[in-house]
Every structure is written in C-alpha cells, then in structure tokens.
Amino acid sequence: MELIISGGDIPPENVICQMKEAALRCLIHEGVRTDDIEVSVTFTDLNGIHDLNRTYRDVDSSTDVLSFPQYDDTADIPADGMITLGDVVICTEQALLQAEDFGHSAERELVYLFVHSMFHLLGYDHMTDDDKAEMRKAEEDVMSVIGLERK
C-alpha cells in the first residue's frame, strides 16, 4: 500500500503514517488485497477545492474532501499488478476548522476525511440513509482500530 502525497499544507509525518495505516485497514475491512495498491492524496486550500468541486461536481462551493475512484466496485479491482485505487483531495483549511468545531484533534479530522474518501474509492456512497449508516459504521470501525475513535 502506497500513498502518493502532494500539494500544499501537507500534514506532519505522524498524520501521514496514520493515514497509511487507515488505508490498510479500509482495504482489509473490504477484503481487498493490500499489496501493489496506491492512492494519490493531494492537500489543498479552500480556493483549490472550490475550483475542483465546481469543475468535477458542478457545485460552486468549497468542501472538505473529494474522492475520485478508478473503480465502481471492489469486484472490478484487478487481482494482480499495480493498481491506482483513485485520488483523494483534502482541504486542510476546512479540516482544521471542522476539528475545532467538533472538538477533536486536527489529526483525527484529517485521518477521518481520508478514511471517508477511502470508502468512496471502495464503492461506498451516502445517498440514502441506509447507505450513510453503512458507510459511517465502516468508517468508525476503522477509526476505532487505529485508535482515533470519536470521543
């Protein structure tokens, strides 16, 4: 499992390590192989994510995280060879604001947003209440395993 990190406002190494552990746990949770998998993670600011949200989702506002999956379903992921699972874009500014609003650490918020995106890359969505509950359970399972559960 490899994370390809880019952009500005890259979090400290301990957060990147937590994200890598979280990515492994997400893959294991879904029964997806963990070898030869890579995910691109870009950190941006409010203007950058606003531009991406407008361009790719036709939503004229900023957001906290965007996910760009390469596969619609885990069944579509090839059994061998190097696989790029998709791209994640996290707005560091928004994550820090949310951490303060929710009363938890910046580390937890950044890793949570990444976990949320990983599950999007693995085929989850939250369009219905049932889908949202299923996704939230998977996210909290992973966050708990890595020691960043909600307090």
Name the residue with higher pLDDT: 150 or 24.
Answer: 24
Q: What is the pLDDT of residues 7-36, one digit of tens each?
A: 988 999 999 999 999 999 999 999 999 999
| CATH class, range 2-145 | alpha beta
3-class SS of residue 90: strand
Q: What is the pLDDT of residues 101-113, one digit of tens each?
A: 999 999 999 999 9
Q: Which of 44, 55, 39 is nearest to 120 (CA)?
A: 39
Average of per-residue pLDDT across 56-80: 94
End-to-end CA distance of the chain: 28
* Model confidence, pTM: 0.95
**Strands across the sheet with 65-69, in order?**
2-7, 37-44, 83-91, 65-69
